[in-house]
Structure 1
Amino acid sequence: MLRSMYSGVSGMKGFQTKLDVIGNNISNVNTIGYKKSTINFQDLLSQNLSSSGVNPMQVGLGSTTSAINVNHNPGSFMTTGVGTDLAINGDGFFVVQNPSAPGTTGQYLTRAGNFVVEADGDLVTAQGYNVLNSAGGKISIPANIVSFSINRLGQVMGKDASGVESALATIGIAQPENPAGLSKFGGSLYELNTKADSRTVLQLLALPKNTEVASGMLEMSNVDLTEEFTEMIIAQRGFQANSRTITTSDEILQEVVNLKR
């Protein structure tokens, strides 16, 4: 009876975590570049009651969370018409640099391409992080450039007062070996670690194969509300069922206590 009670407690904790994941997904349904998370469970250690039979006699002790994974499927694109709004059509991440962090320690990955040009000409994120080019340097628009655009190849093309157009930089794209292993840093940023890539330094590329940069567009969240609400119902019923297990175990314990009056 006590085993069933503790199993119910573990189940309630698991489904509470599932509700936490679902709630975070729903709260970010309109967050630019957000990737939803999913949760998986596994059973806990089983207790051996006897090994005298042909098959082992075991009773499980509940469940626990095995993994919370990030789903990196692409989200839908939203047209903004703003030239510095960028979306990656394919694999890869933009690479941004915290200007106050030395070296490569302040580099992060992101799929949120809502960039702006500061007064000094630097292309930055909403948090003020510099957008890096394929050589690992910041992208800056010179003062003599009157207009610029970003093409599908990720090239920043500038035009001077005389109408001469030239390539100023190429948007840097990083492709970690295991995107699901990236750590969420906050602000729609990801931090590189050894689980995501065996290389300790970000490898910036020009445009990878089968990947394009869409200017004037943003990639929205890949959260599907229909799926999330369905998972919420499952989590709610699972939580309710485990609470019923605890209630039933309590009623049986009460009957045992009442055997001696």
Structure 2
Amino acid sequence: MSITSSMYTGAAGLRAHSDAMDVVSDNIANVNTIGFKKSRADFADVLGGVIAGKRAGAGSMVAGVSQNFTQGALLGTGQVTDLAIRGDGFFVVSGMVDGVRGTFYTRDGQFNLDQDGYLENAAGLRLQGYPIDANGQVTTTVGDIQIDMNALPPQATTQVELVGNLDAEQPIDATPFDITDPAGTSDFSTTMTVYDSLGTPRELQFYFKKLQDTPTPQWEYHVVAAGTDVDPPPPGDYELLGTGTLDFNTDGSLANNSLSSVTVSWEGAASATIAIDLGSPTSGGGTGVDGITTYASPSGTTFLSQDGYGSGDLAGITINDEGLIEGQFTNGQTRALAQIATAKFANNQGLERRGDGLFAQTRASGEPAVGTAGSGGRGALVSGSLENSNVDMAEEFVHMIAIQRGFQSNSRTISTADEMLADVVQLKR
């Protein structure tokens, strides 16, 4: 070893601290970059020659740069397609990067819908996930997430359900039910909106009339449609679709319902068979109290439902913590549209940084474990939020000062060695 060697050692220290300052500068520059993960310069010593029979050091070097994948703070944005991962994992995106098409991974959840319904980031990379078929089943193949922007087609009503009570103290009127005057010849009525095959709203009317009190209560009911809604139209204002008898037990529970469905030929639309659910009668093993009952209280309905709807346009989407994307339509319907996929790696440090917040898989990182958020060790998604950079400015300034002092100290060793070398030169004069 020699004085000149100490100069080279100091130069190695300058180079190492300069590289470390590059890392700190990069961290500070990305303090507000969404999804950014701070880095750290890992110093290592360098061996030189032999002094007194032992290897001596020859300075330092930056042996590697490791990234810190700790969670960054979540920033609320209110935009549904802004996504953050709370916990481990990465979004999976696909597209062109540096002229090469591939799959990449990122913590940056700034996504938007393009004109074709694809969820993509600012670089045009498309978010990956699982499509959902028309039956609501999630497929197992990962691909580009595309939101169907088309209108939801109508669905004709196939079933109606009524829950309510028929007054047990209703006097019996011997006047038979008359379709020409349904309101005047019945004891209670209710109306329900249903839909035909084109999504046109229609009305079904239910007219109830008490028949007897003993030995057990019995009522009849008539399902009626407006004459203008059916084809061919009836001679009067109403079309009688079906008549049923309701037998009750002495405790007011439903014992039997003789009418299970009605068929109607809608004007201008397809014919429909509509099942009628007035509760589970005790004759069939049901409770008899989950639909129509007859208690000593006023007649009325507490619940009306049917399974049809008109067409509807997509009004908006929601994304839950498992990455399930659901569409809300103007007809009040909600449909599952897609499921976002996230990926988890055995060794995040093995990922290759590709810029724009992207990482690429390597042998060191291992194969990605791709699945749904909130499962398999993958973190939950937070819609309407973004993950900020995990850079701590105070910490970076401390590192910067330490690196600056290290750089200054190494420069001092060079200047001191230069002075010593000058002294040696002076000995010859």
Q: How high is the TM-score relative to the length of structure 2?
A: 0.56
CA distance in 2, matches of 1:99, 1:70: 24
1:215 paired to 2:383: yes
* 2:55 paired residue among 53, 58, 62: 58
Query: Which entry has the higher C-alpha Rg, 1 or 2?
Result: 2
Partner of 1:14: 16
State the 1:64 CA deviation.
1.3
* 2:362 paired residue among 193, 206, 216: 193
* 1:86 paired residue among 83, 86, 90: 83
Q: Which has the higher helix share?
A: 1
* 1:237 paired residue among 405, 411, 422: 405
Conserved? CA contact 2:94–2:127, under 8 Å? yes
Partner of 1:136: 142
* 2:319 paired residue among 124, 144, 150: 150
Q: Which runs of 5+ in 1 are unaligned?
A: 52-56
State the 1:204 CA deviation.
2.1
State the 1:98 CA deviation.
0.5
Partner of 1:121: 117
Deviates more, 1:66-75 or 1:204-213: 204-213
CA distance in 1, matches of 2:332, 2:46: 69
Partner of 1:40: 42
Letter in 1 for 2:338: A
For 1:22, what is the secondary structure of its paired residue? helix
Conserved? CA contact 2:35–2:72, under 8 Å? yes
* 2:396 paired residue among 201, 213, 228: 228
Conserved? CA contact 1:94–1:110, under 8 Å? yes
Letter in 1 for 2:142: G
1:77 paired to 2:79: no
CA distance in 2, matches of 1:164, 1:33: 34
Conserved? CA contact 1:117–1:124, under 8 Å? yes
Partner of 1:255: 423
Conserved? CA contact 1:92–1:175, under 8 Å? yes
* 1:184 paired residue among 341, 353, 357: 353
CA distance in 2, matches of 1:137, 1:255: 72
Deviates more, 1:131-140 or 1:243-252: 131-140
Conserved? CA contact 2:147–2:338, under 8 Å? no
Q: Any idea what the Cα deviations from partners look like across 1:12-48, whole Å, max 9, x if unmatched?
A: 0000001000001000000000000001111111422
CA distance in 2, matches of 1:128, 1:114: 11
CA distance in 1, matches of 2:146, 2:55: 65
Q: Which has the higher strand share?
A: 2
Q: Any idea what the Cα deviations from partners look like across 1:145-172, whole Å, max 9, x if unmatched?
A: 3321101111001123322212111111
CA change 1:58–1:203 in 2 (3 A) is closer
For 1:106, what is the secondary structure of its paired residue? strand
Q: Any idea what the Cα deviations from partners look like across 1:211-235, whole Å, max 9, x if unmatched?
A: 2100000000000000100100001
CA change 1:26–1:4 in 2 (3 A) is same
CA distance in 1, matches of 2:86, 2:400: 30
* 1:206 paired residue among 372, 376, 381: 372
CA distance in 1, matches of 2:147, 2:98: 22
CA change 1:39–1:129 in 2 (3 A) is same
1:172 paired to 2:341: yes
Conserved? CA contact 2:47–2:55, under 8 Å? no
Alignment size in residue pairs = 252
Conserved? CA contact 1:99–1:130, under 8 Å? no
For 1:87, what is the secondary structure of its paired residue? strand
Deviates more, 1:238-247 or 1:133-142: 133-142
For 1:157, what is the secondary structure of its paired residue? strand
CA distance in 2, matches of 1:162, 1:120: 22
CA change 1:169–1:27 in 2 (3 A) is same
Q: Which runs of 5+ in 2 are unaligned?
A: 131-140, 152-313
CA change 1:250–1:99 in 2 (3 A) is closer
CA distance in 1, matches of 2:349, 2:119: 27
CA distance in 1, matches of 2:315, 2:393: 43
For 2:129, what is the secondary structure of its paired residue? coil
Letter in 2 for 1:205: G
Q: Any idea what the Cα deviations from partners look like across 1:56-77, whole Å, max 9, x if unmatched?
A: x332111111220011001001
CA distance in 2, matches of 1:187, 1:228: 21
